[in-house]
Structure 1
């Protein structure tokens, strides 16, 4: 980091252990993304008169090239849990920042259109014939819309291919009229 780490503990006693924990978490962020410009961590105990036990608020500000990423986590009774959750969120923000810098997007599995070839309502499974003519097993848990008990043979379905222990499977199965990709 170009600017040294800033740690602020508000309305609570100084804790070397808490500071060491914060430094360790920041080192992990810096190892993941070596271009951190700065990092400020604030741990505070807000004043709440009618509430038992201390509640900790965490705020992490990370300076990155051309931007600042901020994470806030409020009201947890254990400062280490609050810090863990906040640093997990900070890591996710850094991952998203890196993806945006690289102009990457998350890849989604391609969807296919087929029809229910065979179904066993009693057993809770069936087979879908895909556009390639091959059948894929599916289970009632993989049906997104409508419910499994409303499916019948011949229904047109949209699904995502998957490979299971026994061979090709369909997951995220949904019913309705679907556009077949060219």
Structure 2
């Protein structure tokens, strides 16, 4: 790494165990991408007593050559009450790893198929503040939930309604859920409200 990793603690006491865990996770990221320019991690206590989720937030910002950047902001907002800080850190770095692998694979030219042949769904709803959205599968019209940490090849904040994506699906507690979401068509149309018919195909779909 060209610039030594930077770890910032806000409203929380730094401990040797947490610091060692973060540095261990950074080292593992370098195994997937050994040409990272920089990595800045922020560990903060965002809330004192949230009704659910975690009081902690982990932000990870990674830069790599050619002006590319990976940004992860992780703050569990549902599920188990007050998950341990260590678990929140591991989940945040797993999200960063998925994005990093997707980006480096793209840069190395290993993904060479045509986007229009891979697009299986269209983003129809985004809830930016809550960190989730919904896809509609083109072939079936099925609506599928996805979390911000499922996005692998760009940041959640860059998504737009109408983006064409490919995804992998599992059955979650609340129904179909995408485990990975990769944008393959960045054109967007805010008017998309349902799965296009044969006469109403999304942008870039042949």
Q: Normalized against structure 2, the TM-score is what? A: 0.48
**Mapped partners of 2:93, 2:50: distance in 1:** 29
Structure 1 equivalent of residue 57 of structure 2: 57
**Distance in 2 (alpha carbons) for counterparts of 1:50 and 1:99:** 38
Does residue 85 of structure 1 match 2:116?
no
CA contact (8 A) 2:47 2:56 kept: no
SS, match of residue 75 in structure 2: strand
Size of the aligned set, in residue pairs, is 111
Correspondence for 1:67: 68
Gaps of 5+ in 1: 108-144, 146-182
Paired residues of 2:54 and 2:75 also in contact (CA < 8 A): no
Q: Deviations over 1:5-52 (max 9, x none)?
A: 100111011211100000000001112210010000111111345648
Q: 1:7-156 maps to which residues of 2 (within 5 A)?
A: 7-48=7-48, 51=51, 55-65=55-65, 66-75=67-76, 77-105=83-111
8 A Cα contact 1:56 1:77, kept in partner: no
d(CA) in 1 for partners of 2:9, 2:92: 15
* Preserved contact between residue 56 and residue 78 of structure 1 (Cα < 8 Å): no
TM-score normalised by L of structure 1? 0.54
Asked which structure has the greater CA Rg, the reply is 1
